[in-house]
Structure 1
Amino acid sequence: MGTMSKTPNESLRGWTHVASGKVRDLYAPADLSAHSGRDALLIVASDRISAFDHVLPTPIPDKGKILTALTLWWFEQLKDVTDNHFVSVHVPKEVEGRAMIAERLQMVPVECVVRGYITGSGYQEYKETGQVCGITLPEGLVDGDRLDEPIFTPAAKADLGEHDENITFEQVEERVGKETARQLRDISIALYTKARDLAEERGVILADTKFEFGYRMQPGETDLILADEILTPDSSRFWLIDSYSPGKSQPSLDKQYIRDWLKSEESGWVKDTPPPELPDHVVMKTQERYRHAYERLTGETWKR
């Protein structure tokens, strides 16, 4: 099967396209009874890649398959922490390997970011204010330092093409209520902590990541359900323990390589303009990092 990059199929056998995000395409069932009456979605991970809130014009081959396989692996590892929305991988042949059927949820409008290390936008905010999302951190931290305890640094979900906005815990409480805010924080940190420890056993640092949650569609549901992709190179920062050295940018197994290239003179890119096509060497290096992340974390050889 070829790479899915630019536009989704308007329909797949038994499914109708209903929405697209930066990377994923969503399909609703043509016949609800085919899924035992459950609200279901077909979630297809394309090979599109985004950076700095832009979808880049060049896809990364196999990326969608790696994201799907890694998400399914993490769902299995973390199922004792919280329920997730996965239903099955009995999907149309055209999207085998890059798609899953999942329960449709009423999504909570908060990006649940957890940081165990200080870097990226969190480090920039810390340098300016000494805080991240209203949380005061110790003085003197350098880029890449490990925090004494992981912190919950949520963001308000933005529309496609807009930048998610970091918010405080108090702002989460205003949006979803105090009890839900507490649950989001506690479950997110529990998920991160278990995933961090598991990754470290495999020689990988999970610097930060984001989770999304929702409620089942039936009336009266109050249990938060883990949704979307989790702990992939698209939604996380993965560093290798062997090369970890605080005080500088870390070699990573995620899309930081693309961000760094876009900021380089070679790209010629001016921020807030449409990004350029990626050269072959950037595509290849990015694909290698995604594949390496999958193999290091799961212990399995990636097979196309």
Structure 2
Amino acid sequence: MSNNSLLQSSIPGMKAHQGKVRDVYEFGDKLLFVATDRISAFDWVLPTGIPDKGRVLTQMSKVWFDRLDVRNHLISMDMGDLDLPDGVDVESLDGRSMVVLKTEVFPVECVVRGYLSGSGWKEYQETGRVCGIQLPSGMKESDKLAEPIFTPATKETSGHDINISFEQMCEIIPAETAKKLRDLSFQVYQSGADYAAKEGIIIADTKFEFGHLDGEIILIDEVLTPDSSRFWPVDQYEPGKSQPSFDKQFVRDHLVACGWDRNSEPPALPDDIVAKTRAKYVEAYETLAKSEFPWK
């Protein structure tokens, strides 16, 4: 297959603030979020993109922003709402771009876990806790928690975010604000998880980002996507092991199997891994949006 992924966006005369996946451009009190097709694994951005991955993330975030009863930063999906310079390749940005409010971002990732997996499972095995929260003994990998837990993390510019306790979060931002972010995170997670479960997807955990504008807390960035969450198929869920998922599992498995040392530049991905990964992202979108992905 030909890989027509977008690894780097470009707007003439403008410099983007670049994250692992998103390119962000400033337009006064608005921002243009462009989700590229970059994919990362083991803290490396890979040289091969996943075609339309950025469109999946953007369109899925739009589905959730429309569903969730909480203020968010989305203004529109129409780049015509911005005064774009001449020469912009609008077609390459179509479907992967959001015009959003510019907010002051809280410097903490708001993570909610409904199941014991990932770094939470690793920490539990070592200490019986997750981010300072004591859990029952004898739990297995991927077990459902009695109730979701809030496990914040620092926002690191490179490498992994660092898990912290809620008390540590209260040292970074005011305690009253931290409580509001925690409550809002639980609300959004539960609403999303309940809907997804009816459609056959378990949202095992997720991370949210929030900003504030004019004294109001606003949900920002992407929300409840395969990049910011663990999505598991309900009909294959089996505690006691890692679960099949709707994300970059094929990519991770390939990188482990091919012998890459994780300390040097990562190798390119073969076509079949790219195709399978793209299909998983598209399947997740179509399942939750209950409509066909427009960029088939």
TM-score (norm 1): 0.90
Aligned-partner Cα distance in 1 for 2:125–2:37: 35
Quick one: which of 49, 60, 63 aligns to 2:50?
60
* Residue of structure 1 in register with 2:146 after alignment: 148
- 1:10 positional shift: 4.3
Aligned-partner Cα distance in 1 for 2:78–2:182: 33
Is the 1:63–1:290 Cα contact (8 Å) retained in structure 2? yes
Structure 2, unmatched stretches of 5+, are 81-89
Quick one: which of 287, 290, 296 aligns to 1:299?
290
* Residue of structure 2 in register with 1:24 after alignment: 22
| Mean Cα deviation higher: 205-214 or 253-262 | 253-262
For residues 62-101 of structure 1, the aligned pairs below 5 Å read: 62-78=52-68, 80=69, 82-91=70-79, 93-94=90-91, 95-101=93-99
The number of residues matched between the two structures is 282
Deviation string, structure 1 residues 64-101 (Cα, Å, up to 9, x no partner)? 111110000000111x1x20000011116231111010
For residues 180-195 of structure 1, the aligned pairs below 5 Å read: 180-195=177-192
Aligned-partner Cα distance in 2 for 1:253–1:246: 17
For residues 1-304 of structure 1, the aligned pairs below 5 Å read: 2-5=4-7, 7-11=8-12, 16-29=14-27, 32=28, 39-78=29-68, 80=69, 82-91=70-79, 93-94=90-91, 95-159=93-157, 161-216=158-213, 221-264=214-257, 267-304=258-295
Deviation string, structure 1 residues 248-274 (Cα, Å, up to 9, x no partner)? 11111112332222222xx22112322
Aligned-partner Cα distance in 2 for 1:251–1:299: 21
Aligned-partner Cα distance in 1 for 2:121–2:215: 35
Deviation string, structure 1 residues 86-125 (Cα, Å, up to 9, x no partner)? 0011116231111010001110000111100001111000
- Structure 2 letter corresponding to 1:85: H
Q: SS of the residue aligned with 1:28? A: strand
* Residue of structure 1 in register with 2:87 after alignment: none
Which stretches of structure 1, 4 residues or longer, exceed 6 Å deviation after superposition?
none
Aligned-partner Cα distance in 2 for 1:179–1:119: 29
Greater RCO, 1 or 2 (C-alpha within 8 Å, sep 6+): 2
- Structure 2 letter corresponding to 1:169: F
Aligned-partner Cα distance in 2 for 1:249–1:258: 15
- 1:192 positional shift: 0.4
Percent sequence identity over matched residues? 51
